[in-house]
Structure 1
Amino acid sequence: MPWLATCAALLLCAYAQLESQRFSSALDDRTSGGHYVLTVHSVDADEPAEIRVSSCEALVSDPRVERAGILRDGRLVAVPQLGADQRLIEASTGLFPQLLEADALVGPRLPAVSGALIVDGRPLRPLRLEEQPRGVDVNSSVVLPVRAFQQVHSDCVVVLRPLVRVDQAAADLIAGLDARGALTASGPGLGAADLGALYVERGERWLGIAVGVLGGLVSALINRFRAPELAVYRLSGTSRVDAARLVAYEQLVAAGFFVATISASACLLGQRLTAPTALLWWAFAGAAAWFITSVAVSLPVVLRNPVTAVRDD
């Protein structure tokens, strides 16, 4: 039985890793697609709101927020290292903390720059940005720090942490802004299905128990073919209780191999799994299902009259 339990556990671990890869891929797609980016702006497009920049940047104190700040449309200028008509955008440090270390940020889709970046005749220390999600549209731009006199702005851009419930967070964040005018939020994540909830509520969460029940049934079937062997034990003087105890011990060992194999695999796979703890719950739930199913279904074979069992087989 241990070999059967080990094979079942390895198959379960392989599926868990495949499922984790699919989840990570879906999360990456949502993140790069701007699912967790919100733009807070006026309800009335004809009357821009006045959002205090400091209150926008203060949203980072919310544990659901990764970055927050303003993006101020700039102008097109010639940058010797990059060419003519380069778009300049001003951003607050709450949205790009890298501006605390550099004078300018170069979008990842622009050519690489070595040395100082010359903008309007001034040499600036540049830093190259990583790819930004949709809604933080600076991948082909040069980003400069927002000017000190900029106290209010019409929009506030908020980047939420992955797996945050966007709909719930939007209302709370709008309420936390100091602004004049009615505000609303827009972004692709609003109204979309919650990826974390879909993962938690997926039908596959019962797979550990299903594998345990299936393994228990296969073990009981194997015991059915061992009926003559069990009958010999009974004929040699072994009581029904002792025979049942023997079968239970064998299934307990198999369940132990099931748990041990999955636990070792969870440690080895580590960061490749979305929820290693959930895999351990699969292990214990599956082992319990294996033991209960196999023993319960095997009892009729164990408790049969040994003489009848030998004659029938």
Structure 2
Amino acid sequence: MRLTTPTTGHLVWRLSLKWRAAVDRTVKPLGLTQAQYSLLATLTGLVRRGVRPSQRELADHMGLEPLHVSKLARALEQAGLLTRPPDPDDPRAVRLDLTDRGHEVITEAIKLVRDLHEDLTANIGGPRSAGTRRFRATLQTLLGDQPTRGEAMTTARPVGGRDLNLAAAAARSLLTTLLEREGLDFIDYVVLRTVADQARPADALVSAITATAIASPDTARSVITKLTEAGRLTADAGLVDVTPVTRELVEHLTTDSTRAGDQLFAGIAPEDLDTAKRVLDTITARAAEIRATL
């Protein structure tokens, strides 16, 4: 079963993966991951405005699950980059603040990621171009995060990785809900869908999954083993394939997620979607080019 022309939602997802991988490589020398960078950069922006958010408030602001933010914050606390003092207004909560070392590291990281962002958006005029502002406005529409009345579009901050990640997270949450009903997670689904598209040897399947920047080779092999042991995949004659029941499940999930995606984009002007698709295609291609040089 060959996939048709990718939808805008699929391109948002792919672009988010490419951006995340590029940021991972950019901030790795500073001892950070993309997820840790996003947390520290967001916290930095709030701290500069005099806000010391609680862990839950930061999670809500970033559009992430509180448990995920908690794990990130604990790791950053252990690395000496932030503190988690008790919230004086709520003994069950903690607030987040940067240490001096945290300020130093994130300041350097922001400079590196800003340069990366300049490169990624060069083909559409750079971060402050009209094309980038239109793209950012489209992402805000998808996220339901519109500028307030009277806010000039020309003064909006340039679109960045956070906008892409939030849009991807919002779209992906629809699929996550469908997957959880079947006892699957996102990587499980990617593996099953890849195999449903074409049976292939295990090594070739691992390479295909790794190429999407979703999982490392070890993680891909572990997921393939898990799904095989669960009876969702077969490994006959050296080829990994889906069972007939699994193929029906993948087709059912694909249909349901496509229907949800159609509802997500309903009512958005076609010209806005066309602009978003062109920008996503450009940035996805540029991310691949830049990744090859890192």
Structure showing the higher strand proportion among its residues: 1
Fold in common (TM above 0.5): no
TM-score range, shorter chain: under 0.3
Which one has more relative contact order, counting CA pairs under 8 Å at least 6 apart? 1
- In the superposition, the TM-score normalised over structure 2's length comes to 0.23
Structure showing the higher helix proportion among its residues: 2
The structure with the largest alpha-carbon Rg is 1
- In the superposition, the TM-score normalised over structure 1's length comes to 0.22
